[in-house]
């Protein structure tokens, strides 16, 4: 993500907006779903957004402007049945945001 931010800044001379809009869902009973699957959901839905923010915030601070939009989804407000990893990641994203 840092390479993408550097490339965007080099091309346009600044970064004005980052829209984080990733989301994957692994549906199933928590204890029947491998932890590797839950880990991938959290890595995409929470850590992916954090990586994006981490990459652009230095540019926003230098410019003294910038807009970061984190698209959270209803899963950050209400539990998704059979979506423990998804719900946990989206609630975490709400806390991060």
CA–CA dist 11, 85 (Å, integer): 37
Q: Burial-class residue 41 by CB neighbours within 10 Å (0-12, 13-18, 19+).
A: buried
Tokens of 56: 């652009």
Given the structure tokens 């080099």, which residue do they identify?
Answer: 10
Residues carrying an active site annotation: 86
Q: CA distances (Å), 59 to each of 3, 12, 37, 86, in order?
A: 13, 12, 33, 30
């Amino acid at each position: 993500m840092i390479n993408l931010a550097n490339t965007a800044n080099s091309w346009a001379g600044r970064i004005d907006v980052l829209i984080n809009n990733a989301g994957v869902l692994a549906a199933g009973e928590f204890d029947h779903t491998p932890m590797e699957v839950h880990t991938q959901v959290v890595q995409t839905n929470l850590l992916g957004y954090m990586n994006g923010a981490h990459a652009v915030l230095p540019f926003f601070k230098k410019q003294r402007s910038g807009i970061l939009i984190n698209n959270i989804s209803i899963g950050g407000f209400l539990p998704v049945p059979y979506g423990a990893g998804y719900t946990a990641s989206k609630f975490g994203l709400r806390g991060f945001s």
